[in-house]
Amino acid sequence: MKKIFISILLFIFIFSIVYSQSFTELYTKFKVINSYHKISEMKNLLSELEKYTDDASLLALYCNALTEYANWGVSENQKENIYNKAVDIGKKAVKLDEKNGYAHYALGAAIGRLAQYKGIVSSLFMLGDFDEHIKKAIKLDPNLYTAYIALGMRYRDVPWPLYNYKKSEQYLLKAAEIEPSYVNAYYELGVLYKIWKKYDKAKEMFEKVINMPLHQDWIEQGKEAKEDAKKELESLK
């Protein structure tokens, strides 16, 4: 009986190691696919991720991958359904592990994207859920720079009287402090300063975006930011 018990414990230990390695492996794969916007490979990854139903981190990764795929990999009329699915998956991840910062971030990001497809009243209700999960993500993982970007854009882009440009600046600057090589942190700051009518700062940010190297985890996104920054600079002349 003692040998059986030890064998069971050993199996559980080995299984947990393999499972955690699976997340690391799949997350690494996701970063490369997402960086280069590889549509067919993302579809394959999503098919693989949908098999996992009882691990918060893997469900969070599935949610995050769905959201990013909808951002750049499908036509406009497909996006809302995929964001809806991402939100459902994200809720399951958070329910499984309330202290998983990545799960809260993935769910918050999906909610933020989905809110763009809802009416004013519905989107305002969703804004509260977005704030809750993104702020919880930052509390649990203070180095999650993409969560600061999300909050920075939230406080910049919502309608009056909900916007707060000072808060937006603080969150975006914090993201740049955590990950100085992330091109889009400076692009989003440039957009903020333009809206805020701080044109000299806006030009400085857009010029920085154009001149700095691409971040290895955000190659295609960074290329788009550079092209958009050039257009923004032209509009400020």
Every domain of the chain and the residues it spans: 1-141, 142-237
- DSSP run (H or E) holding 58: helix 56-72
Please check whether residue 164 is in contact with residue 154, taking contact to mean a CB–CB distance below 8 angstroms.
no
Digit-coded pLDDT (tens) for 36-88: 999 999 999 999 999 999 999 999 999 999 999 999 999 999 999 999 999 99
Digit-coded pLDDT (tens) for 155-199: 999 988 899 999 999 999 999 999 999 999 999 999 999 999 999
Which single residue is written with the structure tokens 């309330």? 98
Stated pTM of the model: 0.90
The superfamily (CATH) of domain 142-237 is Tetratricopeptide repeat domain (1.25.40.10)
Q: Which fold has domain 1-141?
A: 1.25.40
State the burial class of residue 209 (Cβ atoms within 10 Å of its Cβ: 0-12, 13-18, 19+): buried
Measured distance CA(45)–CA(31) in Å, rounded: 11
Measured distance CA(63)–CA(79) in Å, rounded: 14
Measured distance CA(222)–CA(215) in Å, rounded: 7
Digit-coded pLDDT (tens) for 100-116: 999 999 999 999 999 99
Measured distance CA(208)–CA(194) in Å, rounded: 15
Measured distance CA(233)–CA(81) in Å, rounded: 35
